[in-house]
């Protein structure tokens, strides 16, 4: 019985720590703006369920999933094709870029490299 309680407590503490340490938490409910070298802005709305809505510079909407990989060093987005859309040859591949640490929140701005190894500016704006 004691071992069961210890194991359950350890699992609860581990789960709570993992939840408290969600490096994407500061993006939820906010808008992430990414500006490329040509000053084109793409907007992202990340959710804790690993989904993300995207609006490209042309105003076109897309849906994707996201995940942190490579020990939290990369963030990968995989576009979710609309119903009936034909997948590209070889299927939909995730696009991965540098992930510049967690703990970011509304008002933060930084630069990093994108999936094509090009410098981008990133900003988290409060609200959707």
Q: DSSP alpha helices (H): ranges in the chain?
A: 2-20
Structural domain span for residue 85: 23-125
In the predicted structure, residue 19 carries a pLDDT above the cut 60: no
pTM of the full structure: 0.80
CATH number at residue 58: 2.40.128.640
Cα 57 from chain centre: 18
54 belongs to a structural domain: yes
14 belongs to a structural domain: no
Domain total in the chain: 1
Over residues 39-82, the pLDDT tens digits come to 999 999 999 999 999 999 999 999 999 999 999 999 999 999 98
In the predicted structure, residue 16 carries a pLDDT above the cut 50: no
């Amino acid at each position: 019985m004691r071992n069961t309680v210890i194991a359950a407590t350890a699992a609860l503490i581990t789960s709570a720590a993992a939840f408290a340490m969600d490096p994407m938490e500061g993006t939820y409910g906010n808008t992430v703006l990414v500006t490329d070298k040509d000053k084109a802005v793409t907007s992202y709305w990340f959710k804790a369920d690993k989904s993300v809505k995207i609006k490209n510079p042309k105003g076109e909407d897309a849906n994707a999933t996201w995940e942190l990989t490579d020990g939290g060093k990369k963030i990968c987005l995989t576009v979710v094709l609309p119903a009936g859309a034909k997948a590209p040859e070889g299927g939909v591949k995730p696009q991965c870029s540098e992930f510049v640490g967690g703990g970011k929140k509304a008002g933060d701005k930084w630069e990093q490299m994108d999936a094509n190894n090009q410098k981008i500016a990133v900003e988290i704006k409060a609200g959707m």
